[in-house]
Amino acid sequence: MRFQRLSELKPPRAHERVLATLPEEIRMAEYAMAKAFQINELVRSIHKGSYEWYGYTLGSREKPELVADIGLPRNDRNVTEYTSVGPERIAEYQESLPRGRVITGWIHSHGSLDFKGFSGTDEKNQATVLDYVTALLRKPVAKREVVIQDLVMLAKGDYGETDLERGSVSLITDVPVREARILEAVYGGFCYGIVIGDQGWHRQEIRYKWRGILSGQTTESRKDAGMTLVATGRLLTQADIDALAEEVREKIKPEARAPRERYEKECT
């Protein structure tokens, strides 16, 4: 990065203009929430145990903030990898989706376990999903001034090699300029993390990532987020449940070794 050094400069009262906002809470279709808990029930009835599973929160490209659906990928049989969501697996699932549908985060179940929070493993998965989702869905959220100390202004055709040795950044313009301000686009993205339990509880967080296009300055943060259920007109029908049962039968295959035991170790 040519301008890497700029990121180290703390701009004194740099000008920033907000262009767009990122969600502060999670809005989720009632259908999607009903589906998540239905998966929990189906896992218990089909696989005769309260096994954990994971899926993705899905939105539309136009309205990624709304969780419109839950996607259930083939959960790994291997217990070691079971709770780990890799970028290849996310990409693979994204490619299987219809155009316009996008992964916006991930959801998993703690089954009957009474741990209503995110474990260390969950944190790692969240970071992986965040990287993937923000690469896919980032948008310009601000224009921020990059304050450059020792900016050297040069005019085209009117400078020599030694002039380029001066200053931290050289700005070459077609006409002589005395003053310049540089504003960079800041790209921002988010991803959702939701954890649910058999007893009907759910907890969720939003992770954010911002990156200045010129300075390369990257910041991340997370927050516990509220959840608002949205009536979209779509309801979970018996036909949906039957299709979901097939998916649960096919995509969730608990090993003979109880995943719960390992899971509890990781989560608590």
Contact present, 6 and 144 (Cβ < 8 Å): no
Q: For 8, what's the count of Cα atoms within 13 Å in the CB-facing half-sphere? A: 6
Phi, psi dihedrals of residue 66, rounded to the nearest 5°: -90, 125
- Dihedral angle computed from the Cα positions of residues 13, 14, 19 and 21, in that order, rounded to the nearest 10 degrees: -50
Per residue in 218-253, is it b (16+ CB within 10 Å) or e — as a string?
A: eeeebeebeeeeeeeeeebeeeeeeebbebbeeebe
The number of beta carbons lying within 10 Å of the beta carbon of residue 8 is 8
Q: How far is the CB of 67 from Zn ion (least distance, A)?
A: 18
Q: Which is nearer to Zn ion, 193 or 212 (CB)?
A: 193
Beta bridge partners of 230: 29
Residues making contact with Zn ion (CB under 5 A):
119, 122
User: CB of 55: closest distance to Zn ion in angstroms?
Assistant: 13
Residue nearer to Zn ion on the CB measure, 65 or 122: 122
Phi, psi of 199 (to 5 degrees): -75, 0
- As measured in angstroms, the least distance from the Cβ of 218 to Zn ion is 26
Nearer to Zn ion, 64 or 71 (CB): 71
Give the shortest CB-209-to-Zn ion separation in angstroms. Answer: 21
In the complex with Zn ion, the residue whose CB is nearer, 156 or 265, is 265
**Cβ proximity of 52 and 111 under 8 Å:** yes
Residue (of 108, 129, 144, 147) closest to 209 by Cα position:
129
Of the candidates 103, 106, 97, the one whose C-alpha atom is nearest the C-alpha of residue 135 is 103
Query: Smallest distance from the beta carbon of 243 to Zn ion, in angstroms?
Result: 26
Nearer to Zn ion, 57 or 119 (CB): 119
For Zn ion, which is the closer residue by CB, 36 or 154? Answer: 36
Amino acid at 6: L
In whole angstroms, how close is the CB of 8 to Zn ion at the nearest point?
37
Instruction: Name which of 82 and 210 has its Cβ closer to Zn ion.
Output: 82
Residue number of the CB atom closest to Zn ion: 122
Closest of 107, 174, 97 to residue 136, by C-alpha: 97
Give the shortest CB-39-to-Zn ion separation in angstroms. Answer: 15
